[in-house]
A and B are shown apart, each in its own frame.
Chain A
Amino acid sequence: MTSAGSGLTLLQTCVLSLLVFTGASQFALVGALAAGGNPFTAAAGAFFLGVRNAFYGLRLSQVLALPRGIRPLAAQWVIDETTAVTLAQPTRRSARIGFTVTGLTLYVLWNLTTLLGALGAKALGDTGAWGLDAAGPAVFLALLAPMLKTTTERAVAALAVLLGLGLLPLLPAGVPVLAAALAAPAVLCLEGRRRANDAREDAREDARDDARDVVRDDVREEDR
């Protein structure tokens, strides 16, 4: 629905859902194109959001143990929801059934709602007047919220917001989001350094304790 509001044709909107089939990437692509981004920077942002599916695939291939021939077919359904359902199953049989049922239902529903949404948006005309332009950020926020579990994730999100908004007036459309992605390695790097510092401090304290013990032992020796 949002995509039809941002200049994509009905056909483009539906092909996007059929071929990409990973919600966050689709919304990101549409948003970047609507903002006037170049197609490659727009696609790059969408691609980085899709990278997490590779890690889902890793977990899934261990659980499902699919024959090689089926993997290219199954791959399209490797997304957040199918992974969550499949990994929650107790046996390989139920995991395979869970993956297939969830994948098929979501694929059909997602593409149907895309078609209906695009038709509906066309009928509505100006999507902005109806507040539909707020649907995009709300979707992102809903996807983001469950990920903000620890301080690290919150720090990454905060830094990304600062970078994304701060660079917006300076860089061409679509690029600030890519720059904001650097928040992830930046925070990881800081975290790693802090951990190393803590470890060093612990070591220093241990050394001090050891030294004290030695002194104490010496005193005891003298007492004797």
Chain B
Amino acid sequence: MNIWIAVAVTALGCYAVKLAGLLVPAGALERPLVKRLAALLPVALLAALTAQQTFADGHTLVLDARAAGLAAAAVALVLRAPFLLVVAAAVLVTAAVRAMGG
């Protein structure tokens, strides 16, 4: 049930902001500070999420095979690999490190 609530709230919220952008008259959100903040919010959230899903195990921080996988993804990104290849690199390296007992 909790998951359904989360899905519904997210769906409504995300749809509302998409629609708001199309309906609101231009200029209302065009203030430079608001625009800067909207551009930086995803940066902060994505960075925090990346770090947490790599190093978190519940409420503790751990260094395990996922870190190796993320490093592989980072290398793939630097080499300008396409999106799917970046994700595949992370998955494969994580699985490989785990298979070796890491």
- Which A positions have Cβ atoms within 8 angstroms of B? 7-9, 12, 15-16, 19-22, 24-29, 31, 33, 35-36, 38-40, 42-43, 45-58, 60-62, 66, 71-72, 74-76, 78-79, 129-145, 147-148, 152-153, 156-161, 163-165, 168-169, 173, 176-177, 180-185, 187-188
Measured as residues with beta carbon below 8 angstroms from the partner, the interface class of chain B is 35 or more
- Which B positions have Cβ atoms within 8 angstroms of A? 2-7, 9-11, 13-15, 17-24, 26, 29-30, 33, 35-56, 58-61, 65-66, 69-70, 73-74, 77, 83, 86-87, 89-98
B21 touches A184 (CB 8 A): no
Given the known interface contacts A7-B3, A35-B56, the answer about A165 and B61 at a Cβ–Cβ threshold of 8 Å is yes
Overall SS of chain A's interface? helix
Option from A54, A137, A148, A173 in Cβ contact (under 8 Å) with B49: A137
Overall SS of chain B's interface? helix
A142 touches B41 (CB 8 A): no
B86 touches A138 (CB 8 A): yes
Q: Mind listing 20 A-B residue pairs with CB under 8 Å?
A: A9-B3, A20-B7, A28-B49, A35-B58, A39-B3, A46-B14, A57-B22, A58-B21, A60-B21, A75-B19, A76-B18, A131-B69, A137-B49, A138-B91, A143-B46, A144-B47, A152-B40, A156-B44, A181-B44, A183-B47
